[in-house]
Amino acid sequence: ALRRGNSASSSAHLLRRGFSSESAPERKVAVLGAAGGIGQPLALLMKLNPLVSKLALYDIAGTPGVAADVSHINTRSEVAGYMGEEQLGQALEGCDIVVIPAGVPRKPGMTRDDLFNINAGIVKSLCTAIAKYCPHAIVNMISNPVNSTVPIAAEVFKKAGTYDEKKLFGVTTLDVVRAKTFYAGKAKVPVGGVDVPVVGGHAGITILPLFSQATPKANNLSDEDITALTKRTQDGGTEVVEAKAGKGSATLSMAYAGAVFADACLKGLNGVQDVVECSFVQSSITELPFFASKVRLGKNGVEEVLGLGPLSDYEKQGLESLKPELKSSIEKGIKFVNQS
């Protein structure tokens, strides 16, 4: 437990740890799609986060039960459930962070892009409400296809006059989580200390893990190993979709990844230094308008979009081959908003 006090060492300790629940500022987080496969375990994990003071759980159905259940957990945040469009405004009002796992997941044989028609409409309507009720909130977009739903959100916010590119994030953390796990397994190093940047986008070959920058360095991996690790990271979602055999896509690992990313955003908002996560954001590090890379998080959201760093020849090739697909997914999102 942390002591209250002003000594240099205790404040340094607080900064390093984040904040104790007594000293952390008030922060309201909303989960939209909170009764779903991702939404429920994500609600649980956000309830466990001491940086959250208010947790709003919104869905078109089922949230009273989820909220009642989660609210019994004896942690800091006050939990409330909101159901149906007429309660969306209340759920969003005063939010610091809105996490969006609303939408339909993949079934075997589907790509993330097959979800476009349904999820694009859901994301558009939720973002319209965000622009109205909490225009300054940080948005963590989980709904797929992220390569298109993030540009959709940006266009909706631009039309509403509320767009702040520093506050819109496509959540690609699950790709990082997978890359770390698979790398640790192959390199036989303890997974807790592993870091692997993943750049590009969040679908198939647009997911580009940079194993040449992985730490700790593993000298026991061949080119074939790196190719296999790259493919497994790119196909990680499909691995789960097939194993679930028609019952949806990754939910538990996604909830974990979503909770890690939201926690990083909260720490950034609270002024913790050097919070860096990969995310799909507005970017000028390539010629594409949105790109996933390491991002430093701060009090206003994106503090700095970090560059790609040195790439291996294999990664350089991967980067060039992902660009056309990523470009067309981004354009598809932009077009969706400007046509409808």
What residues make contact with ligand NAI under the rule CB under 6 A? 32-33, 35-39, 59-61, 101-106, 115, 119, 122, 125-126, 142-144, 146, 171, 174, 202, 248-251, 254
Longest pairwise C-alpha distance within the chain = 58
Quickly count: other Cβ atoms within 10 Å of residue 110's Cβ: 14
Q: How many CA atoms lie within 13 A of 138 on its CB side?
A: 29
We find the least distance from the C-beta atom of residue 63 to ligand NAI, in angstroms, to be 9
Residue with smaller CB distance to ligand NAI, 119 or 148: 119
Amino acid at 42: L
Q: Phi/psi of residue 192, each to 5°?
A: -60, -30
We find the least distance from the C-beta atom of residue 124 to ligand NAI, in angstroms, to be 10
The DSSP code sequence of 106-146 is P-TT--GGGGHHHHHHHHHHHHHHHHHH-TTSEEEE-SS-H
Residue with smaller CB distance to ligand NAI, 249 or 286: 249
Which residues contribute to the annotated binding site for NAD(+)? 33-39, 59, 119, 142-144, 254
The position carrying tokens 């520093």 is 166
Residue with smaller CB distance to ligand NAI, 174 or 305: 174
We find the least distance from the C-beta atom of residue 72 to ligand NAI, in angstroms, to be 21
Which residues contribute to the annotated binding site for substrate? 106, 112, 144, 178
Q: Phi/psi of residue 31, each to 5°?
A: -115, 120
Our answer to whether residue 72 is catalytic in this structure is: no
Q: Which candidate, 51, 56, 54, 55, places its Cα nearest to that of 23? A: 51
We find the least distance from the C-beta atom of residue 43 to ligand NAI, in angstroms, to be 11
Going from the C-alpha of 16 to that of each of 10, 27, 50, 163, 296, the distances in angstroms are 10, 19, 15, 32, 16
Q: Phi/psi of residue 71, each to 5°?
A: -65, -20
Residue with smaller CB distance to ligand NAI, 18 or 236: 236
| Residue 209 near residue 179, CB atoms below 8 Å | yes
Q: Is the dihedral of CA 103, 106, 111, 115 positive or negative?
A: negative
We find the least distance from the C-beta atom of residue 60 to ligand NAI, in angstroms, to be 5
CA torsion angle 290 299 128 327 (round to 10) = 0
Catalytic option among 13, 72, 136, 202? 202
Give the C-alpha separation, 208 to 203, whole Å.
Answer: 10
The position carrying tokens 């090739």 is 317
Residue with smaller CB distance to ligand NAI, 15 or 110: 110
Residue with smaller CB distance to ligand NAI, 105 or 268: 105
We find the least distance from the C-beta atom of residue 105 to ligand NAI, in angstroms, to be 4
The residues carrying an active-site annotation are 202
